[in-house]
Structure 1
Amino acid sequence: MGDEIKTSAEAMEQAAGPRMHEVHTDDTTPNTRDQALPKKVKSQPVDQKSPAQWAYERTVVYLKKFEESLDDQHEVAMGFVGADAGVLRIEGMGYFDPDIVTFYGADPTGAKMQLVQHVSQLSVVFRALPKAVEQKAPNRIGFKLAQDLDTA
């Protein structure tokens, strides 16, 4: 028990490895027919990857592709479906085996955000936001108050 029987077509598909295929109707987005994927995505068989690693790798490919379509005045962010959390300017991403993917970043006001998502619930909406304006160092009131206590 537990041994899956695969059709010859399924076996050939799995042996061929992961592929990415897209067709777009607008002239500004290049069509992607069997795009060359990063080596790390192709080097390890899919059945040897955790769901988190596999979701992470594919999301990174889509994120990079989305960024390639942006001009110099915009950065990638993600919107949230069904929540009032707004958007998260993506500054980092990771995964925690076997089934968690996480996004790190900030909202448009600069407040830090982190989304921790189970792969079974993963749904990412990429958005283009204007570049963040360089800000001065944050005001660390806790450090000032502790310093004040040390001098009193």
Structure 2
Amino acid sequence: MAVADKELTDQIQTSAEAMEATVLPCARVVHTSKDAPRTAEMEPLPECVAAQPIAAKSPAQWAYERLILYIKNFEGQLDNEHEVAMGFTAGGAGVLKIEGIGYFDPDIVTFYGQDDGGARTQLIQHVSQLSVMLRAMPKAPEEEEPRRIGFRLAADLEKK
């Protein structure tokens, strides 16, 4: 078999392989430390996320669902004195303590919360510009327990 023929056969998929490729996401992570915590890419997709084929989801819905998995994983590694916040990756806008996340099909993801001064804050972002940095911020001293938005969002995904 010629090299060109082999390359062509390597690219041909059966209909089952092609269908599976639209359903199963590809995720991978590599760390420099053997003691690195488990990350969202290492976890299996929850049934509520995996049930709908990726091709049937809008870019906003697919980004929203994966953000929830990342936030839940991040929160799972925090102590009781910290909550998740989002650092803005561009500009000097500061930090948003995440209180809610939403999406508006086909391509908008929205973050709701408060900035580090306590002012109501909302970030509306197109999925093509999505870049989120999760940060651990001290919980409000008047709060007995930290608020865990990632776990609430994940529970909401399972309801639908």
1:22 positional shift: 2.6
Between the aligned partners of 2:102 and 2:22, the Cα distance in structure 1 is 27
Aligned to 1:59: 67
- 4+ residue stretches of structure 1 with deviation over 2 A? 18-26, 30-34
Q: TM-score, normalised by structure 2?
A: 0.72
Q: Which residue of 1 aligns with 2:106?
A: 98
- Single out whichever of 113-122 and 12-21 deviates more from structure 2: 12-21
Relative distance call for 1:106 and 1:25 in structure 2 (3 A) is same
Q: Which of residues 4, 13, 20 in structure 2 aligns to 1:8?
A: 13
Q: Which amino acid aligns with 1:24?
A: H
- Deviation, 1:109, is 1.6
Q: Superposition RMSD on alpha carbons, in Å?
A: 2.3
Rounded to whole Å, the distance in 2 between the matches of 1:58 and 1:131 is 24
CA distance in 2, matches of 1:14, 1:128: 35
Unaligned segments of structure 1, at least 5 residues:
1-5, 136-152
Q: CA deviation at 1:81?
A: 1.7
Q: For residues 83 and 32 of structure 1, do their structure 2 counterparts lie closer, same or farther at Cα, with a shift above 3 Å needed?
A: closer
Amino acid of the structure 1 residue aligned with 2:13:
S
Change in Cα spacing, 1:34 to 1:86, as seen in structure 2 (3 Å) is closer
Q: Contact conserved, 1:89 with 1:105, CA < 8 A, in 2?
A: yes
Q: Percent identity?
A: 58
Aligned equivalents of 1:78, 1:47: Cα separation in 2: 28
CA distance in 2, matches of 1:38, 1:19: 14
Matched, 1:30 2:24: no
Q: Between Structure 1 and Structure 2, which shows a larger proportion of helix residues?
A: 2
Structure 2, unmatched stretches of 5+, are 1-10, 144-160
Task: Return the offset for 1:18.
Answer: 2.2
TM-score normalised by the chain length of structure 1: 0.76
Structure number with greater Rg is: 1
